[in-house]
């Protein structure tokens, strides 16, 4: 025979059993379903909020930068692509994705990304700088010089990078490079913008 104490202990269990029977087992399926992974959560959030999309885009961009610094180019490429899926206007993701493809010697993919970026922002200095890198690596010196000149015209001023970037090494071997660089020094004769200062 049940006393009040036993009944009070069993009552919650009985209520759960009744609930499960009434709902036809849906609750059991919910309880037995594994917790969502980060990947599932990532693809189930609201894609209609532009601010959230932008934040997620920059999150993946920053994660891509981390992988790039660590030399994990495959992971970096995946993260930059995720960044662009969230927000296709993060221009830095195009730049860095093209850089990663150049490092991986996937030259067609690098050029394809740069062409997409060119449609979006034809005057971006890093677009033309990375085009110069692409042309240098693939042995198209004249196109490389044109792209490098255009990058400077559009505002690229990191002359130390021009002097040391391994992607431009073939371009720097061209006899035209030293002459071109001397002319550049006349345009930027003094101060921090000077390529020879």
Please report, rounded to a whole number, the percentage of residues in the chain having pLDDT higher than 70: 72
**Per 3-state DSSP, what percentage of the chain is helix, strand, and coil (rounded to 5)?**
75, 0, 25
Structure tokens at 184: 């550049």
What band does 197 get if pLDDT is binned at 50, 70 and 90?
A: very low
60 CB neighbour count, 10 Å cutoff: 23
pLDDT at 116: 96
Q: Specify burial of residue 20 (Cβ count, 10 A radius: 0-12, 13-18, 19+).
A: middle
Taken in order of first residue, the domains within the chain and their CATH numbers are 50-122 (1.25.40.10), 123-197 (no CATH)
More reliable by pLDDT, 1 or 8: 8
Q: Which of 103, 13, 20 minimizes the C-alpha distance to 64?
A: 103
8-state DSSP, 45 = S
Contact 61, 100 (CB under 8 A): no
Q: Say how many residues make up the chain.
A: 197
Our separate counts of H helices and E strands in the chain read 12, 0
Phi-psi sector, 45: left (phi>0), alpha (psi -120 to 50), beta? beta
pLDDT in tens, 25-83: 444 344 344 444 344 444 445 557 889 999 999 999 999 999 999 999 999 999 999 99
What band does 186 get if pLDDT is binned at 50, 70 and 90?
A: confident
Scan for tokens 């093209």, then name that residue.
98
Q: Which of 153, 179, 154, 151 minimizes the C-alpha distance to 165?
A: 151
Distance, CA of 179 to CA of 168 (rounded, Å)? 16
What band does 181 get if pLDDT is binned at 50, 70 and 90?
A: confident
- 3-class secondary-structure state, position 154: coil
């Amino acid at each position: 025979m049940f006393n009040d104490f036993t009944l009070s202990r069993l009552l919650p269990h009985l209520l759960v059993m009744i609930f499960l029977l009434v709902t036809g087992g849906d609750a059991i399926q919910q309880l037995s379903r594994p917790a969502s992974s980060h990947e599932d959560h990532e693809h189930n959030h609201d894609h209609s909020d532009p601010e959230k999309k932008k934040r997620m885009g920059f999150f993946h961009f920053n994660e891509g930068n981390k992988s790039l610094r660590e030399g994990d180019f495959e992971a970096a490429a995946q993260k930059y692509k995720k960044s662009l899926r969230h927000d296709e206007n993060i221009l830095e993701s195009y730049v860095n994705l093209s850089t990663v493809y150049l490092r991986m010697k996937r030259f067609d993919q690098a050029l394809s990304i740069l062409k997409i970026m060119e449609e979006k922002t034809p005057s971006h200095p890093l677009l033309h700088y990375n085009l110069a890198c692409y042309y240098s690596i693939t042995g198209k010196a004249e196109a490389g010089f044109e792209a490098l000149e255009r990058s400077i015209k559009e505002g690229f001023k990191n002359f130390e990078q021009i002097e040391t970037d391994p992607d431009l090494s073939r371009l720097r071997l061209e006899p035209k490079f030293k002459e071109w660089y001397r002319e550049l020094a006349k345009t930027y004769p003094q101060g921090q913008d000077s390529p020879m200062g």
